[in-house]
A = this chain, B = another copy of it.
Amino acid sequence: MLETLKELSTKSPKKIVLLVMDGVGGLPREAGGKTELETARTPNLDALAASAECGVHLPIGFGITPGSAPGHLALFGYDPLAYPIGRGVVAATGVAFPMKPGDVAARLNFATLDASGKISDRRAGRIPTEKCAQLCELLKAVSIKGVEVSVRPVKDYRAVVVFRGKGLSDKVEDTDPQIMGVPPLDPKATEQQAAHTAEVAKEFVAQARKILASQTPANGILLRGFAELPHIPSLPELYKLSPVALAVYPDYKGVARLVGMDVVDDLADLDAQAAALPTVWGSHDFFFIHHKYTDSKGEDGDFDAKVKEIEKVDAFLPKVLAMKPDIIIVTGDHSTPAAAKAHTSHPVPFLIAGDGVRSDGTAKFAERTCARGIWGTISGQVLLRTALAYTGKLKKFGA
């Protein structure tokens, strides 16, 4: 299908906005109650929904709870099952580390180990990004024969390590046991071909442990998501798009870069995103705008705070509409109900508004109203191609 879409794709001057409220799908706080979206006061989103085609989407498929990277891949029009992206790659591309084919990246979390080497804090007291950067500098002293090691700070206690060398493989297990009170795991190869990489990672952990021994609270590291660069055909390559991402968080910039988007850096919040939009409007035709905190508050289980984040995006929406996009999609990459404190598989509401849509009069932008919209329940992977078709970016198939 991507091959067919690529053949049909054609340049058009029309502009598409994809506004993503991360994890926006929710659940009622109590049985019979309202979801976060149903609770939020969202006059702008509701007016847009009334003029739009609405529905709910499954980003990956029925019963699949999407991680952040595959959830976004789906919104960018890819089948996430066909393009697995490891956490390490998301982290590396998120901080603009220039990964090459053959490199293996892993997320590196600074942690606190007790005197017996057991994990007492998996996040090292959530050290600030500045401290994280200092520790990454110290880790430059690591030296492994035949392997180039790069460590970069990401955010707070999170960093990324990239190994470059011959014969590396990403078939290595996490060292993070995901619980406290036990020592970090050894990096184990899950396939014979990764034995060398597992040794490299083990050596890296051992040297890091020595270097960090005197640090407080970050005296240890945990590695997760060993990953090689996937080969994803880019949006410019597939659809002749000039896409740009306006995201605050590194991981989302990372996924955007993986599919060939330009990325606007140093955006602190929605105000900065709104201010940046006009500066890239003329030079691009696809605008991915990402808001993280709907997901964060859902993960925290804070229903009211998630409602407030939705309302912030509602207040932000007119600034996007002022640019007069030809088509705007508003949706999420998955559900993160506060009631679940986690991502879930529930369908995510969406709207497609703009020129040449069959307005369905949906009264409110929310899960159950959109589910009764004109599109019903569909795959999240088809939203982008629908927008491309509506903006004349896909030619007719066949005679």
Contact = CB atoms under 8 A, between A and B. Distances in A.
Given A367-B358, A398-B70, A398-B84, A390 B345 contact: yes
A399 B359 CA distance: 35
A4 B82 CA distance: 11
B394 A65 contact: yes
A87 B358 contact: no
Contacts of A35: 358
Given A61-B1, A374-B372, A359 B28 contact: yes
B63 A344 contact: no
Contacts of A356: 27, 337, 339-340, 344
Interface stretch (A142-150, A201-209, A378-386): A378-386
Contacts of A368: 358, 360, 374
Interface residues of A, number: 66
Given A1-B81, A358-B346, A63 B371 contact: no
Interface string A345-360: 1100000000010111
A388 interface: yes
Contacts of A399: 67-69, 85-87, 90, 107, 225
Closest 8 CB pairs of A and B: A63-B385, A67-B398, A62-B382, A87-B399, A345-B389, A70-B398, A376-B376, A63-B389
29 contacts: A1-B81, A4-B81, A5-B64, A8-B64, A32-B51, A32-B359, A35-B358, A62-B379, A62-B382, A63-B394, A64-B385, A64-B389, A65-B396, A66-B398, A70-B397, A71-B398, A80-B397, A85-B399, A87-B399, A107-B399, A337-B356, A344-B389, A345-B386, A346-B358, A358-B367, A358-B371, A360-B368, A371-B375, A376-B376
Given A61-B382, A85-B399, A225-B399, 8 more contacts: A27-B356, A63-B385, A65-B397, A68-B399, A71-B398, A80-B397, A344-B356, A360-B368
Interface of A: 1, 4-5, 8, 27-28, 31-32, 35, 51, 60-71, 80-81, 84-87, 90, 107, 225, 337, 339-340, 342-346, 356, 358-360, 367-368, 371-372, 374-379, 382, 384-386, 388-390, 394-399
